[in-house]
Structure 1
Amino acid sequence: MLVGLLYVTGCSPQNTLRGVFEKRTPYEKYEAGLKEAKLDQTALGQQWIAAGEQALRKPIPITLPFKETGYFPADRPLAASYQFTVKEGQKVAVKVETQGQQVPQVFIDLFEANPDNTGEPKRVAYADTTAQNLEYEIEEELPHLLRVQPELLRSGQYTVTIETTPILAFPVQGKDSRAVQSFWGAERDAGARKHEGIDIFAARNTPVVASVEGVVTRVNTTPIGGKVVWLSDLKRQQSLYYAHLDSQLVQPGQRVSIGDTLGLLGNTGNAKTTAPHLHFGIYRFGQGAVDPFPYVYKNRTKPTPLQADAKKLGDWVRVTKGKSSLRTAPASSAEALMTLPQHTPLQVLAGSASWYRVMLPDGQQGYIASSLVETLDKPLQAVKLRREAPLLDASSAQAATQKSLSPDSTVQVLAKQEGFWLVQDANGSKGWISAEAAR
């Protein structure tokens, strides 16, 4: 078995420069190759292009962290797209793993969308399974879409994991975001002003460290901040403000690396009546103060591992109970797309936690609880046909005929949907027949 591994961790200004020198993304290069080979004029090529476009039009709404394991069939081009919103100051971290006898090339594209989902989404980062690392730092709190799509005529299993990490290193040595006790916007001086930062509590003289690589621009003492240090983060066009220090251990103009000690934590300035803590602030050039908490917050929640049966991925199943809900996302609180009758056939495309992402015979997708479906191993009933009937390749009167089933032949009914039955004949051939043929 071959296993491919891809890490996508967000986009930085370097990726903007990368885009200048690489005119086309891997996805665009592959699509151009299809057109050069005139494969875009074939049904399969057109389906591949349409699948990528449709995935962006109908993304799956998710909350992070998120993990899903899916299957891409070789005979039907598919793509998956996930929509999520991340706060400014966080970094998107995506890991995609692929498995199969011949691991397909998988294209991963991250887009920024308009809040109202109008207009074309803007591609901001990209990779494929031949790439190593990309970075994407959220610059504005907008919806983002991650599209995952394999090359043509290759099947394989994939697992996509999407998490967030803070852009900045935590500014107090040995502590993390759980040490924050006073947050952005809290009232100060009886409501005369708002708290433009966060307060991180720790023992006196705990090292206060550089959250970024940068240059110390100011080291001074003020009535409110006490002993303070300003650190310039030119990469992100912002300054970091460290206040209430007990002592300062750097000089203006000094270059520092992430983790270098800037001073020791204290309660100088207007904090002399409170416990020792660091006031940490971020000031964007030309914008002013912004909430620093997302920049240092680390979500310790891990994505829920797959609890549904992975053996069903790629297989057809049927609904076990009537009035089962097909939902927009893998959660019982998600919007219901429709109610499915008992015995409705579904193809399992992916699994997330205890949910399956499934596709109806007409191509519509959604999520259903894994406890509400079963395999087709055990037929529902045996039926003798009363007249000759075409065995169709889809549940539609306009579908192509695979072969004709003779009168009085017996078929095993595997699933039922709106006047059509999914059956298997004595030779093991599977297809659809009109329910009227057995009546």
Structure 2
Amino acid sequence: MKHFLYYILLAVFFASCSRLNKATDFITNPSAKEVYKRDYNISDELFTIWEQQHDLGLKDSLKIDLPYVENGHFMSKSFPIYAYELNLNAGEIFDFEIFTDSINDLVFIDFYRMIDNSLKDFKKIESAEIGQKLFQYEIKESGLYKIVIQPAIETQAEFVFKFKSKPAYIFPVADGKNHNIQSYWGAARDGGARNHEGIDIFANRGTPVLAATSGRIGFTGEKGLGGKQVWLRDTKRGQSLYYAHLDSIAKTSGNVNAGDTLGFVGNTGNARTTPPHLHFGIYKHGAINPLYFVKQAEEFKPQIAKFDKKSTNLITKSSIANLRDKPTTSKSQILGQAKNQDTLQLLGKTGDWYHVRPKNKSASFIHESLVAPL
């Protein structure tokens, strides 16, 4: 009976502590890592070592193109850190997901944007909540971004990273594809007197033109170079969508949902001498490039790389092995070289390229033909 009461009191104590922590967190708003340190009783010394690895990852300059997939194996207390740079455009939604063989594995995600190209200075703009394995971020400013991924200290699990992007809007022409876009932002117009402030999407006359996002109908009618046109206000993002050269305008007003028909493809206005198409533009304190708001992402078909899951290190078997910033020989820079019998920490694999880190140095990619499991 005494033991039973002891466990009841202990449970009440921990429940009270948990409620107190949650109440305090609401006021102090600690980071995911601070919550992790407190709730898992991580010592200051161990936490400092773990945090230093994060700083090492920030100095990495690995570059990836989307979509991208990498798999590997987290080893307990091996302090791996993963950092990748990628170019993203306003209008894209960046999507990153981690899959592990246990739902309880903790992985921390920090997202940065470059703010000074000359100094390679990155500023943190978002962090995932503790325990979150799906991270999404809508890009508001085109540029170079960096994502840093760090498993908890005791994590031991197989993992798969999946990186991709998708447009913030749906395609504005029914059944349209990327190849239907045949005139792009910035193209010369009127003999160079002006530049194209949008994209042209070609389709058969009468093809439905769709609301690319939910919003409110503004002006509809026929005027100027755009001929028959519709303006749709995206109140979420504070910008206006412009649909021009329509053959006719659908009977709609007020609020509309994404996918609603606004009109039909034509060639009115100054497009009378061209095949039917939709001129699609976006305005926010002036015209902005609408391409990445609607450009459809590549179909994502990740292939999981094969390698020895027991290996934590690789050894070079070539006299000189190039270490590269991308998993390719044609579009990459050489970051350094590994000599014969050098040991490399194995972080993961993508295709036939290993993601490795020489001791206390920047991470890199090396082709599988140049190394062997240690």
Query: What's the TM-score once normalised by structure 1's chain length?
Result: 0.73
* 1:53 paired residue number: 55
In the TM superposition, residue 88 of structure 1 has moved relative to its aligned partner by 1.1
Superposition pairs for residues 295-306 of structure 1, below 5 Å? 295-300=293-298, 302=300, 305-306=303-304
* Cα offsets for 1:27-82 (capped at 9, x unmatched): 34224556xx4611x3x322111112221232422222221112221032222111
**Conserved in 1, the CA contact under 8 Å of 2:59 and 2:362?**
no
Q: CA deviation at 1:108?
A: 1.8
Alignment match, 1:194: 195
CA distance 1:191–1:361, change in 2 (3 Å) = closer
Q: CA shift at 1:22, angstroms?
A: 8.6
CA distance 1:56–1:340, shift in 2 (3 Å):
closer
3-state DSSP class of the match of 2:58?
A: helix
1:63 aligned residue: 65
1:162 is matched with: 163
Residue 271 of structure 1 is matched in structure 2 by: 271
Deviations 1:264-321 (A, max 9, x none): 111111112221111111001xx211111111112326476344x3224643332222
2:368 maps to 1:367: no
* 2:215 is equivalent to residue 214 of structure 1: yes
Q: What is the Cα deviation at residue 362 of structure 1? A: 5.0
Listed as ranges, the matches of 1:249-288 within 5 Å are 249-252=250-253, 254-284=254-284, 287-288=285-286
Equivalence for 1:351: 349
Structure 1 unaligned blocks of 5 or more? 1-18, 377-439
Measured in 1, the distance between the counterparts of 2:129 and 2:341 equals: 40
Mapped partners of 2:88, 2:183: distance in 1: 22
Residues 268 and 215 of structure 1: is their aligned pair in 2 closer, same or farther, counting only changes over 3 Å?
same
Report the aligned-residue RMSD: 2.5
Is the Cα–Cα contact under 8 Å of residues 207 and 263 in structure 1 kept in the other structure? Answer: yes
| Shift in Å, 1:105 | 1.0
Task: Quote the residue 1:90 is aligned against.
Answer: 92
Partner SS for 1:235: coil
Deviations 1:120-162 (A, max 9, x none): 622324245446x653111111221111111122211211111
Distance across 2 between alignment mates of 1:362 and 1:270: 62
Given that residues 97 and 135 in structure 2 are in contact (C-alpha distance below 8 angstroms), is that contact kept between their aligned partners in structure 1? no
Distance in 2 (CA, whole Å) between partners of 1:191 and 1:337 is 42
Q: How far, CA to CA, are the matches of 1:359 and 1:236 in structure 2?
A: 41
Q: Counterpart of 1:331 in structure 2: which amino acid?
A: T
**Correspondence 1:39 to 2:36:** no
Runs of at least 4 residues off by over 6 Å? 19-22
Assess, with a 3 A threshold, how the Cα gap between structure 1 residues 336 and 20 changes in structure 2: closer, same or farther: farther
1:92 partner letter: F
Secondary structure of the residue aligned to 2:171 is: coil
Taking a change above 3 Å as real, the CA distance of residues 120 and 326 of structure 1, as seen in their structure-2 partners, is closer
- Counterpart contact for 1:320–1:374, Cα < 8 Å: yes
Q: Which residue of structure 1 lines up, in the alignment, with residue 113 of structure 2?
A: 112
Distance 1:299 1:22, change over 3 A: farther
2:340 — aligned with what?
342
Q: 1:177 to 1:51 in 2, by over 3 A?
A: same
Cα deviation for residue 372 of structure 1 reads 1.3
Aligned to 1:145: 146
For residue 123 of structure 2, the aligned residue among 98, 121, 124 is 121
- Residue in 2 that maps onto 1:319: 316
Give the Cα–Cα distance (whole angstroms) in 2 for the partners of residues 298 and 58 of structure 1. Answer: 30
Residues 103/68 of structure 1: CA separation in 2 closer, same or farther (3 Å cut): same
Aligned residues: 348
Confirm or deny: 8 A CA contact 1:182 1:198 kept in the other structure: yes
Cα gap change, 1:137 to 1:306, in 2 (>3 Å): same
**In structure 1, what is the Cα distance between the partners aligned to 2:42 and 2:345?**
30
Q: CA deviation at 1:174?
A: 0.8
Alignment-derived partner of residue 290 in structure 1: 288
Structure 1 residue 257 displacement after superposition: 0.1
Structure 2 residue ranges without an equivalent (≥5): 1-24
CA distance in 1, matches of 2:215, 2:348: 44
- Take 1:244 and 1:222, find their aligned partners in 2: how far apart are those partners? 10
CA distance in 2, matches of 1:72, 1:129: 16
Q: Give me the whole-angstrom Cα distance separating, in 2, the residues matched to 1:118 and 1:362.
A: 20
Measured in 2, the distance between the counterparts of 1:77 and 1:281 equals 47
Distance in 2 (CA, whole Å) between partners of 1:190 and 1:158 is 54
Q: Percent sequence identity over matched residues?
A: 33
The amino acid of 2:32's aligned partner reads P
- Going from structure 1 to structure 2, the CA distance change for 1:223 and 1:141 (only over 3 Å counts) comes to closer
CA contact (8 A) 1:72 1:314 kept: no
Instruction: Give distance in 2, aligned partners of 1:265 and 1:364.
Output: 52
Q: How far did residue 208 of structure 1 move? A: 0.5
The alpha-carbon distance between structure 1 residues 122 and 250, as it changes in their structure 2 partners (threshold 3 A), is: farther
Decide whether the 8 Å contact of 1:313 with 1:348 is kept in 2: no
Structure 1 counterpart of 2:36: 30
- Say which SS state the counterpart of residue 236 (structure 2) adopts: helix
Q: Tell me, in whole angstroms, the C-alpha distance in 1 between the residues paired with 2:70 and 2:116.
A: 25
**Which residue of the partner structure matches residue 15 of structure 2?**
none
